[in-house]
Structures are given as structure tokens and as C-alpha cells.
Amino acid sequence: MNMTSAPPFCSIIIPALNEERDIEACLSSLSQQTYPRERYEIIVVDNGSQDATKSLASKYADQVFERVNCNVGAVRNYGAEKAKGEILIWTDADCAVDENWIETGVSLLQENESTIFGGGLKPRKDPSWIERLWLLNDSGKNIQQKDLMGSCIFTTRELYLKSGKFPEDITSGEDTALSQSARSHSISVVLSPMLSLAHLGSPTTPLEFIRRQQWHGENYLKKPKDSLRDKTFLIALCYSASLLTAILSTLFGIWSLSLTSVVCSLILSALVSIKRILRANGTQLGLKDTLGVLVLDHFYLIGRGLGIAKGLAGRGHR
């Protein structure tokens, strides 16, 4: 980055909700950057925390705001409204970044016009088996997703506004929606491993993991036309139908149908595992880890299926 003139002023926006476990590590890493501290501000937008999140945030952040009773997209947009920077950066309160993270992201923006940048996730030190096998990214050099994640977004204010901001009517997936909207406005979305960061708040138990996937799956039915073009949604829907058929046919003693349904669910889960392993770009897995990936992807599809069911129940109560 050219430091002969003043570098652009950046605003780092962090939504937070009951993040007392990790927010101090997050903000500490953001406070110790190679980018000049006087050229960036740290903004925390609290979504109604009931723990020590706000008091911990006030030790590091330049501004701590409250935006309650709304979805995370509205929290991210509110932070942008309050931000002073010409460059807007989003991360999450349970992430920790490398010391050159801001400098790297700003350099990428300066070198690439009409481009929004994001990064991937890498394991923290001593990750659980769920974290390690979900990310499949020990080196931090692999990017498996195609769309932006809220944990790592670098953009100019101009491109953010042109993209239409984050949608505020969904509980998750606002980052994916921003990616799709940006592309529809001829804005490039590029994911760089140089911006990958550690996610400290990843689920570490099967139940936590399933609950996280359920949360992600709740919004599928809010935009059914888009979901029908989403392979993950279709696989989760077919997997759930197969699993439900297997359970019901077993209860009624229809063993051939039960066996067929179980095989279908195994095939669908294996397809997800194969896709993830191939995207891991040569990550070497032994037999034990391969079996772990297969088991984890069953948890993944179960969680997404529960999210779809919850979404259906919600529509039914309207």
C-alpha cells in the first residue's frame, strides 16, 4: 500500500449479541494492526446483549451503539450509517484477525476497482474435530464458499450503497444476499485467502453445530424461488424427506421402503462430503477424518432440514 499520502480512512463494523466470551480477543486483534490506528475506527453495534459485551467493547471500540429488536442485516447497515470511513469493513465479534488484515484488504481494494473483497475461515489454535473437519482448511489458503461471509467484507462505501445494502428481513444469509445483489449490479465479488481469519465462536459439539445449521436454514422459505435454485436447499429437502420416509416406513414395517430411504439419505450426505473435500484443494484426509466428514455432513443436513421445518411452521402461523 502506498503510504506516501494519507491512507484512506476505514470503519470496521462489528455486530454483537452476547459475545462476552470472544469479543475482547476480536477487538484486541483489530487494535494491533499494521494499518495506522488514526486512520481507522472500530464500531460495535450491540443487538441487545444481556452479558458483559458492551462493557468489554467499550475498552477497545471507538464507538459502541445499540440497535435492538432487528435482524443482523439491520445491525450491519446501522453501523454503516454511523461510520465515517470511505472504506467499510465488516467482521464478527467472535473472530480474530492477523495484524496485517486491514492493510491487506485496503491494498486489494485500491488495486481492484468495482470489487468487493471477502475472505475465508481458518481454524483457531487447538480446534475441535467439528471445527477442523467443517473448515477443512488447516493452512488458511483454501476458500470453499462462493459468497461473502459477514465475518470478512471489505468494500468502498460507494459499492456498498450501489449493491443495495444488507437485506434486513432475514435472520441469516444477509451476506450471501449482498454478494448476489453486488453481482447483479456488475460489481465483482472476490474471495482472497489473504483475508482469511480465525472464527473463535464455531460450534464445538454436534448439538451446537445442528442448532447453527438450523438457524441458517430458517430463511430458505422466505425466498422460495431463489431457494429452488440453491443446490444445498434441494439436497437438504430431499435428505429430510428421505429420513422422514425411513422413520415412518420403519414404524409401519415397510422394510424395503425404509432401506431405500436410508440409502438415499446416505447418498445425499455423501454428495455433500465429496463436494466439500474436492473444494478443499488437496487437503489430505485419513480414513478416520473422512468418516468424520461423512458424519458431520449428516449433522449439517439434519440441521438444515430442521430449519426448513421451522420455516414451514412459521409460515403456517401467519
Distance from C-alpha of 158 to C-alpha of 102, rounded to nearest angstrom: 18
Residues 204, 208, 210, 213: is their CA dihedral positive or negative? Answer: negative
318 residues of the chain, pLDDT tens digit each: 554 578 999 999 999 999 999 999 999 999 999 999 999 999 999 999 999 999 999 999 999 999 999 999 999 999 999 999 999 999 999 999 999 999 999 999 999 999 999 999 988 888 999 999 998 887 667 777 889 999 999 999 999 999 999 999 999 999 999 999 999 999 999 999 999 999 998 899 999 999 999 999 998 988 888 889 889 999 999 999 999 999 999 999 999 999 999 999 999 999 999 999 888 875 678 999 999 999 999 999 999 999 999 988 876 555
Residues 116 and 230 in one domain: no
- Is residue 239 within 8 A of residue 305, CB to CB? The reply is yes
pLDDT at 119: 94
pLDDT at 122: 86
Amino acid letter for position 23: I
Residues 187 and 90 in one domain: yes
Residues 185 and 83 in one domain: yes
Note whether residue 5 is domain-resident: no
pLDDT at 192: 95
- 177: domain range? 10-199
Residues 157 and 68 in one domain: yes
Q: Count of domains in the chain?
A: 2
Q: What are phi and psi of 22, to 5 degrees?
A: -120, -15
Give the dihedral of Cα atoms 60, 88, 219, 141; nearest 10 deg: -90
pTM above 0.85, yes or no: no
Specify the DSSP element, H or E, that contains 204. none
Residues 215 and 312 in one domain: yes
pLDDT at 314: 74
| Domain endpoint, select from 178, 199, 220 | 199
Residues 254 and 191 in one domain: no
pLDDT at 184: 97
Query: Which runs of consecutive H residues, i.e. helices, occur in the chain?
Result: 23-31, 53-57, 72-82, 101-111, 129-135, 157-163, 174-184, 206-217, 224-227, 231-251, 255-279, 287-316
Residues 166 and 55 in one domain: yes
| Domain endpoint, select from 175, 199, 223 | 199
| Domain endpoint, select from 184, 199, 214 | 199
pLDDT at 5: 78
Residues 57 and 150 in one domain: yes
Q: What is the DSSP letter of 48?
A: -
Residue 24: give its domain's CATH number. 3.90.550.10
DSSP states along 105-141: HHHHHHHSTTEEEE--EE--SS--HHHHHHH--TTS-
Q: What is the DSSP letter of 161?
A: H
Each as own residue / partner, the long-range contacts of residues 257-264 (CB below 8 Å, 24 or more positions apart, any chain) are: 264/238
Could you tell me the CA-to-CA distances from 119 to 37, 65, 66, 188, 283 in Å, in that order? 22, 26, 27, 14, 18
- The three grid cell numbers given for residue 51, joined into one nine-digit string: 452479558
